Amino acid sequence: MSLKTRALINVASSWGGLGVNIAVGFFLYPFILHHLGDEASGLWTLIYSFTGYYGIFEFGIRSSLIRYVSKFRATGDKDELTRLINTSLFTYTCVGLFLLIPTTLVGFYVDRIFRIPPNFYYDARILFLMVGYATALGFPLGISGGVLEGLQRFDLINWSNIITTFVRAALIVYVLKHGLGLLSVTLITVSLPLLSSAVLSAFAHRLLAILYGWKYVGWGTLRQVASYGSVTFMIIVAARLRFKTDAIIIGTFLSAAAITHFTIGARLVDYASEVVSSMAQIFTPMSSHFHATGNYEQLRRIFIAGNRACALIMFPMTVAFVVMGKSVIEAWVGPRYLSSYVILLIVLIPTTFLEAQSTSNRILFGMSLHKSLAYVVLMEGIANVILSIVLVRPLGIVGDALGTAIPLLCTSLFFLPRHMCRQLNIPIRKFLVDAYFFPVILCLPMILAMLLMQRSFYAHHYPQLLLNLMVGVAVYGVGVLWFVLTREPAGIELKIRMLRYLGQAGAPEP
């Protein structure tokens, strides 16, 4: 199968899986929120955010797997591939066993660390132990995800996620309707991903067809993985500081209930980001392949076209949230949470600039040139924590959001575009024009259409919201269709074929 066909399949399956995940999550979250309440929902977010820091113990191994599985498959080096998988599996197993220790210790004192209501002390302890143990077990099982991404088999990962998402939603609705609470929801949430990882491990083993054993675990391979992964490790730490500290800071200085109000605005931004990231993830193994074969012209094309595609997806979602954010929140979780709109705006703007360059990050990983990025985002993450702590006391959750937004905006505007243009020897003006001119222009009619719809038919409920969104999407879709058929080579070729077919169909018979 060609790389182009594989890429199309991966993007289609990624968006299919993400569409299911967002749709289910969008409608399931308010159901969970109203059944559990602000404090229990905030506690759930808090524990997941805290255990999310276990991800730093991944040490960049997953990104190394993606990079080197793709490389060794491209070069046909099966021996190196065997050593890579066995060494990574051994390392992940050791990490998982180690994490059982802090999970057990912290689990009995979690109620003393954060501001948790007394009636939730027991639930908080059990919740932490459940999530922590599941996360630890997920390390060795999770190796299959990195392997399949390196093989560019995102379709298998996405189909597994789709099935898991539907089953999880059905079980959560069932237990909540039957009067069960937070711990039952958590058990469902942590167990199904483990089952999915076990199934994916079987698929990965079948596709690789390699041998397993102690003799294939080597220090040389570990050093190779660590050399690449050490830089990724800094980025993982930075990512936790960037996006996983909000709930912890708010839970420490404010309350668990305040986390819920922050999460509502931030979660909408996360949904938009996931749409772009699910498409951009295909560029890591793709750029690794072209870098291994020395095809820099293709890397430049991916850089421009990939970021343009990210902007074409992210910009209209930003427009929709800015114009209709209050309506979305009101229809989603109710009017009592409209104060979350401010959080939505503060986090959305810098995230838009970052996600519009998602391809840049993926190419840096694929080329093993992400060291400078690691240092910058690590400094950004540290600045995020400091600013959030300073601002959360006088400004509340708005201060925490500003602490996240300001450093993120600086990285997105002043570092990433210039750095990538230097790496690929492309003038920054050419990059900005080629990648973002049309995405910006195509959003202007959409802005006007959605403003008029909101002024004439302000959306309070889902039917009104859907109508206004459909009008905006239709206007934007017409512009994108014009762009594809007149500017993109594949679109122009398709248009020529269509015109030729219609001309032949309309020609009179001799």
Dihedral of CA 446/447/450/452: which sign? negative
CB pairs under 8 A, 24+ apart, for 485-488?
487/438
pTM above 0.85, yes or no: no
User: What is the predicted pLDDT for the residue at 357?
Assistant: 92
Cα 482 from Cα 495, distance rounded (Å): 11
Ranked by mean pLDDT, which of 43-52, 114-123, 226-235, 415-424 comes out on top?
Answer: 415-424
Q: H helices within 209-281, ranges in order?
A: 219-243, 246-253, 256-280
Task: Decide if pLDDT at 409 tops 80.
Answer: yes
Interior angle at CA 161, CA 158 and CA 166, nearest 5: 130
Cα 338 from Cα 261, distance rounded (Å): 9
Cα 21 from Cα 34, distance rounded (Å): 20
CB 204 within 8 A of CB 148: yes
CA-to-CA dists, residue 262 to 109, 250, 368, 401, angstroms: 25, 9, 36, 8
Task: Decide if pLDDT at 340 tops 60.
Answer: yes
Percent of the chain with pLDDT over 90: 23
| Average pLDDT rounded to a whole number, residues 221-236 | 72
Both tokens of 391, joined, read 């601002």
Task: Name the residue type at position 458.
Answer: Y
Between these two residues, 390 and 2, which has the higher pLDDT value?
390
- 391 Cβ contact list (under 8 Å, min separation 6): 398, 399, 400, 402, 403
pLDDT in tens, 63-75: 777 777 877 777 7
Both tokens of 480, joined, read 């994108």
